[in-house]
A and B are shown apart, each in its own frame.
Chain A
Amino acid sequence: MRTLLIWGLAAAFVLPAWALDNNIKMPVNLDRLAARATESVDVTLDASTLELASKFLSKDDPDQAQVKNLVSKLKGVYVRSFEFDKEGQYSLNDVESIRQQLKTPEWSRIVGVKSLKGENSEVYLQKNGSKIGGLFVIDAEPKELTIVHIDGPIDPEELSQLGGHMGIPNIGRSGKHENVKGAAKSGNKDQE
């Protein structure tokens, strides 16, 4: 009985913290940005939808087979992307609440680039023991804001291996594009 009580109390404290860490809430004000955006993408794929999507990926297509392998262990994929016709349509405060959620010991910022041109990139990794438990990307450009959250074990190297395929540009060691098969946002935004 006593053991049960201890376990119950432990679960009561640990579970909410776990749930908080693994469920980063997209701020509501992001949805308001869609009204000002010329193009917007809203992708929300939970574990069950990912599983369903994965079944429809072709094994014969090398790109799709690679994606299938990549997402097989994931718990969710969330993307919000907004493209505006002029600058100043969003403020960095719009993503500040996400940054606050990432300021936990589980998350660590591995890339933080701020440029004078206003092209800022941040990449966060979620540590899950010795493995990566998630990936978060905030990409803020003068006329574009993109937030990507990949929930689950992912190797960013695997994701970057898709470079040169599926419209993802490839980057060489020198930083120059090696093989670009179309832009990343090649007309698929209207699929929302």
Chain B
Amino acid sequence: MTEFEQQLARALERREPPAGFTSRVLAEASRQRPVRSRWSAWRWTLALRAAPVMAALLVVAGGALYQNHERIERGEAAKQQLLLAVRIAGAKLHDAQQRVVSIGEIRGAGIEEEQ
């Protein structure tokens, strides 16, 4: 066995823990557990209580956004329809007006020729 192997064997050889190690670890663990579990429980309770509220808020916000989006779409469509209707109404009134004016012009020209 080489020097290095001997050092390795010494380093890895099994050693018993010092006396009272187990009890000290258990005592420490039991001392800290109540604090950690109380905090954890409080966090879980808070999360469980907040979850439905958050879900409800999300649903309400989503619904409001969707309604607003729908309203904008309906409004834009109605606006386009209104502009189209006004265009057609104006053009048709114009056509009627032009026909009346052209009849007046034809009659006027006829009277001038007669004179």
Contact = CB atoms under 8 A, between A and B. Distances in A.
Interface of A: 41, 43, 45, 49-50, 52-57, 64, 67, 70-71, 77-79, 81, 111, 113, 115, 119, 121-123, 135, 137, 139, 146, 148, 150, 156, 159-160, 162-163, 166-171, 174-175, 183-185, 188-189, 191
Contact of A160 (B93, B101, B104): B93
A166 B102 CA distance: 24
A68 B71 CA distance: 18
Given A121-B92, A166-B90, A171-B94, A56 B79 contact: yes
Contacts of B105: 174-175
B87 A113 contact: no
Most chain A C-beta atoms within 10 Å of own C-beta, residue among B93, B100, B105: B93
Interface residues of B, number: 33
B82 interface: yes
B67 to A, nearest CB: 13
Contacts of B89: 77, 79, 135, 137, 148, 150, 159
A113 B100 contact: yes
B82 A169 contact: no
Given A53-B78, A56-B76, A159 B85 contact: no
Interface of B: 71-72, 74-76, 78-105
B90 A111 contact: no
A22 to B, nearest CB: 18
Most chain B C-beta atoms within 10 Å of own C-beta, residue among A45, A64, A175, A188: A175
The list of the 6 closest CB pairs from A to B, nearest first, reads A184-B91, A175-B101, A53-B78, A168-B90, A121-B96, A56-B79
A55 B85 contact: no
B84 A41 contact: yes
B101 A171 contact: yes
A53 B86 contact: no
Contacts of B83: 64, 67, 166, 188
A166 B90 CA distance: 9
A82 to B, nearest CB: 12
Contact of A191 (B75, B81, B92): B81
A119 B83 CA distance: 25
A143 B104 CA distance: 25
Contacts of A71: 82, 86
